[in-house]
């Protein structure tokens, strides 16, 4: 019995919002040090979230193919967020980038 998923859905990041609920555009600057990521992937599977090369945690995709992940404690500087499938061929989403700047 094969467990491979030849038609597995590659993960995507569809939204990055600050704690205030406002969308942070790809490539934008923000003072937010906590964000909520949202995306799509293969239902009932897992994705691993990365900030650059650093793994930040895993999340289970819901039955409709949607996932959310809270990313906290972000430092000042550029962040490049990706979601990697922990199923199929291990596809990686396109990066979502934003620059955390000091609010001083």
Q: What is the CATH number of the domain that holds 78?
A: 2.60.40.10
Q: What is the pLDDT of residue 98?
A: 98
Largest CA distance in the chain: 59
Cβ count within 10 A of residue 87: 20
**pLDDT average per 10 residues of sequence, the chain (104 residues):** 64 96 97 98 98 98 98 98 98 98 87
Residue 41: domain span: 12-100
The predicted structure's pLDDT at residue 7: 80
What pLDDT, on the 0 to 100 scale, is given for residue 5?
A: 53
Q: 39-65 burial by CB neighbour count: b if 16+ within 10 A, else e?
A: bbbbeebbbbbbeeeeebeebebeeeb
| 30 in a structural domain | yes
Tokens 């691993």 belong to 48
State residue 103's pLDDT score: 84
Give the position of tokens 């790809």: 26
pTM of the entire predicted model: 0.91
Residue 6's pLDDT is: 60
């Amino acid at each position: 019995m094969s467990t491979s998923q030849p038609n597995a859905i590659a993960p995507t990041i569809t939204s990055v919002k600050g704690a205030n609920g406002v969308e942070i555009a790809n490539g934008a600057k923000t003072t937010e040090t906590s964000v909520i990521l949202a995306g799509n992937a293969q239902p009932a599977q897992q994705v691993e979230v990365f900030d650059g090369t650093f793994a930040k945690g895993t999340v289970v995709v819901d039955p409709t193919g949607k996932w959310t992940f809270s990313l906290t404690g972000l430092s000042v500087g550029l962040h490049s967020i990706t979601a990697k499938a922990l199923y199929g061929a291990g596809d990686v989403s396109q990066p979502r980038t934003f620059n955390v700047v000091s609010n001083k």
